[in-house]
Amino acid sequence: MSRSIHEEKAVKQFKDTQLLTRLLSYAKPYWKMIVLCIALAFLIVVADLARPYIMKVVIDGHINGLNRPMLAAGAEQAESLKRYGRVVEWDGKSYVRLDEEDAAAAQASPPEGAEAVQIVRTDGQYWLIAGWLSSPQAAVQAAEADGRAAVLSEGRTFAAAPLDEAALAAFRAQDYAGFVRLGVLFLLTVIGAAALSYLQSNLLQYTGQTIIFNIRQQLFNHLSRMSMSYFDRNPVGRLVVRVTQDTESLNQLYSQVVVNLVKDVIVLVGIVAVMLHMSVELALLSFTVIPVLALLTFWYRRVVREAQRRTRTILSRLNAFLAENLSGIRITQLFIREERQREQFDYHNTAYYRAGMRGTVINSIFQPAIGMMGNLAIALLLWYGGVKVIDSSITFGIVYAFTHYVRQFFQPLMSLAEKYNQIQQAMVGAERIFDMLDEKPAIACSDNPKHLPERVRGEIRFEHVWFAYNEGEWVLKDVSFTIQPGQTVAFVGATGAGKSSIIQLINRFYDIQKGSIKLDGIDIRDIPLDELRRSISVVQQDVFLFTGDIASNIRLNDHEITDEQVREAARMVHMDDYVRSLPDGYATQLGERGINLSLGQRQLLSFARAIAHQPQILILDEATSNIDTETELIVQDALHNISQGRTTLIVAHRLSTIQHADQIVVMHKGKVREIGNHYQLIAQRGYYYRLYELQYKEQSPYRPAR
Separation CA 121–CA 167 (nearest Å) = 14
Separation CA 27–CA 250 (nearest Å) = 11
Q: Which among ligand ATP, Mg ion, none contacts residue 475 (Cβ within 5 to 8 A by kind)?
A: ligand ATP
Q: Which among Mg ion, ligand ATP, none contacts residue 386 (Cβ within 5 to 8 A by kind)?
A: none
Q: How far is the CB of 668 from Mg ion (least distance, A)?
A: 14
409, 286 in Cβ contact below 8 A?
yes
Binding residue (CB under 6 A) for ligand ATP from 150, 497, 505, 618: 497
Q: How far is the CB of 636 from Mg ion (least distance, A)?
A: 20
Q: Considering beta carbons, is residue 239 or 522 the nearer one to ligand ATP? A: 239
Which distant-in-sequence residues (6+ apart) come within 8 Å of 95 by Cβ? 70, 71, 72, 81, 87, 88, 89, 117, 171
Q: How far is the CB of 640 from ligand ATP (least distance, A)?
A: 23
Query: Would you call 214 helix, strand, or coil by DSSP?
Result: helix
Q: Considering beta carbons, is residue 224 or 495 the nearer one to Mg ion? A: 495
Q: Considering beta carbons, is residue 208 or 670 the nearer one to ligand ATP? A: 670
275, 288 in Cβ contact below 8 A?
no
Q: Which among ligand ATP, Mg ion, none contacts residue 193 (Cβ within 5 to 8 A by kind)?
A: none
Q: How far is the CB of 667 from Mg ion (least distance, A)?
A: 10
Separation CA 197–CA 205 (nearest Å) = 12
CA atoms within 13 A on the CB side of 116: 17
Hey, what's the torsion of the CAs at 623, 629, 632, 636, to 10 degrees?
Answer: 110
Q: Considering beta carbons, is residue 48 or 622 the nearer one to Mg ion? A: 622
Q: Which among ligand ATP, Mg ion, none contacts residue 498 (Cβ within 5 to 8 A by kind)?
A: ligand ATP
Q: What is the b/e burial string over 103-128, where b = at least 16 CB atoms within 10 angstroms of the residue's CB? A: beebeeeebeebebbbbbebeeebbb
Binding residue (CB under 6 A) for ligand ATP from 97, 499, 609, 678: 499
* Greatest Cα pair distance in the chain: 149
Q: Considering beta carbons, is residue 90 or 687 the nearer one to ligand ATP? A: 687
Which of the residues 542 through 571 are near ligand ATP (CB under 6 A)? none
Q: Considering beta carbons, is residue 391 or 698 the nearer one to ligand ATP? A: 698
Terminal-residue alpha carbon distance, the chain: 47
Q: How far is the CB of 669 from ligand ATP (least distance, A)?
A: 9
For ligand ATP (CB under 6 A), the number of binding residues is 12
Note whether 16 binds ligand ATP by CB under 6 A.
no
Separation CA 445–CA 461 (nearest Å) = 20
Site string for ligand ATP, 424-463 (x = CB under 6 A): ----------------------------------------
Interface contacts to Mg ion, rule CB under 5 A? 500
535, 617 in Cβ contact below 8 A?
yes
| CB-nearest residue to Mg ion | 500
Q: Considering beta carbons, is residue 66 or 517 the nearer one to ligand ATP? A: 517
Q: Which among ligand ATP, Mg ion, none contacts residue 310 (Cβ within 5 to 8 A by kind)?
A: none
The partner residues of 129 in beta bridges, in order of sequence, read: 118, 160
The amino acid sitting at 17 is: T
Q: How far is the CB of 613 from ligand ATP (least distance, A)?
A: 23
Q: How far is the CB of 497 from ligand ATP (least distance, A)?
A: 4
Q: Considering beta carbons, is residue 366 or 607 the nearer one to Mg ion? A: 607
Site string for ligand ATP, 466-495 (x = CB under 6 A): ---xx----x-----------------x-x
Q: Which among Mg ion, ligand ATP, none contacts residue 99 (Cβ within 5 to 8 A by kind)?
A: none
Binding residue (CB under 6 A) for ligand ATP from 100, 232, 281, 584: 232
Q: Considering beta carbons, is residue 220 or 469 the nearer one to ligand ATP? A: 469
Q: How far is the CB of 505 from Mg ion (least distance, A)?
A: 13
Q: How far is the CB of 657 from Mg ion (least distance, A)?
A: 15
For 603, counting Cβ atoms within 10 Å of its Cβ (0-12 exposed, 13-18 middle, 19+ buried), the class is: buried
**Distance from CA of residue 577 to its chain's centroid?**
48
Q: How far is the CB of 621 from Mg ion (least distance, A)?
A: 6
Separation CA 483–CA 650 (nearest Å) = 12
Binding residue (CB under 6 A) for ligand ATP from 498, 527, 565, 609: 498
In order, the DSSP letters of 566-601 are HHHHHHHTT-HHHHHHSTTGGG-EEGGGSB---HHH
Note whether 113 binds ligand ATP by CB under 6 A.
no
Note whether 31 binds ligand ATP by CB under 6 A.
no
299, 78 in Cβ contact below 8 A?
no
Which is nearest to 312 in space by CA: 13, 22, 26, 24?
A: 13
470, 534 in Cβ contact below 8 A?
no
The amino acid sitting at 500 is: S
Q: Considering beta carbons, is residue 80 or 500 the nearer one to Mg ion? A: 500
Separation CA 662–CA 415 (nearest Å) = 74
Binding residue (CB under 6 A) for ligand ATP from 153, 260, 311, 501: 501
Q: Which among ligand ATP, Mg ion, none contacts residue 178 (Cβ within 5 to 8 A by kind)?
A: none
Q: Considering beta carbons, is residue 500 or 614 the nearer one to Mg ion? A: 500
Which distant-in-sequence residues (6+ apart) come within 8 Å of 693 by Cβ? none
Q: How far is the CB of 500 from Mg ion (least distance, A)?
A: 3
Note whether 500 binds ligand ATP by CB under 6 A.
yes
Residue 495 CB neighbours (<10 A): 6
Separation CA 619–CA 507 (nearest Å) = 10
600, 627 in Cβ contact below 8 A?
yes
Give, in degrees to the nearest 5, the angle at Cα 554 between 549 and 556. 85
Which of the residues 276 through 335 are near ligand ATP (CB under 6 A)? none
Separation CA 83–CA 98 (nearest Å) = 10
Site string for ligand ATP, 178-217 (x = CB under 6 A): ----------------------------------------
Separation CA 119–CA 68 (nearest Å) = 7
262, 41 in Cβ contact below 8 A?
yes
User: What's the DSSP call for residue 507?
Assistant: T
- The full length of the chain comes to 706
Q: Considering beta carbons, is residue 150 or 517 the nearer one to Mg ion? A: 517
CA distances from 378 to 282, 381, 408 (A): 10, 5, 11
Note whether 227 binds ligand ATP by CB under 6 A.
no
Q: How far is the CB of 301 from Mg ion (least distance, A)?
A: 53
Which is nearest to 303 in space by CA: 424, 426, 430, 415?
A: 424
Q: Which among Mg ion, ligand ATP, none contacts residue 497 (Cβ within 5 to 8 A by kind)?
A: ligand ATP
Q: How far is the CB of 499 from Mg ion (least distance, A)?
A: 5
Separation CA 422–CA 665 (nearest Å) = 59
Note whether 257 binds ligand ATP by CB under 6 A.
no
Q: Considering beta carbons, is residue 4 or 495 the nearer one to Mg ion? A: 495
Separation CA 142–CA 156 (nearest Å) = 12
Q: Which among ligand ATP, Mg ion, none contacts residue 107 (Cβ within 5 to 8 A by kind)?
A: none
Do β-strands 647-651 and 617-621 pair in parallel, antiparallel, or remain unpaired?
parallel
Q: Which among Mg ion, ligand ATP, none contacts residue 232 (Cβ within 5 to 8 A by kind)?
A: ligand ATP
Q: How far is the CB of 468 from ligand ATP (least distance, A)?
A: 8
Q: Considering beta carbons, is residue 237 or 498 the nearer one to ligand ATP? A: 498
- Give residues in contact with ligand ATP (CB under 6 A): 232, 469-470, 475, 493, 495-501
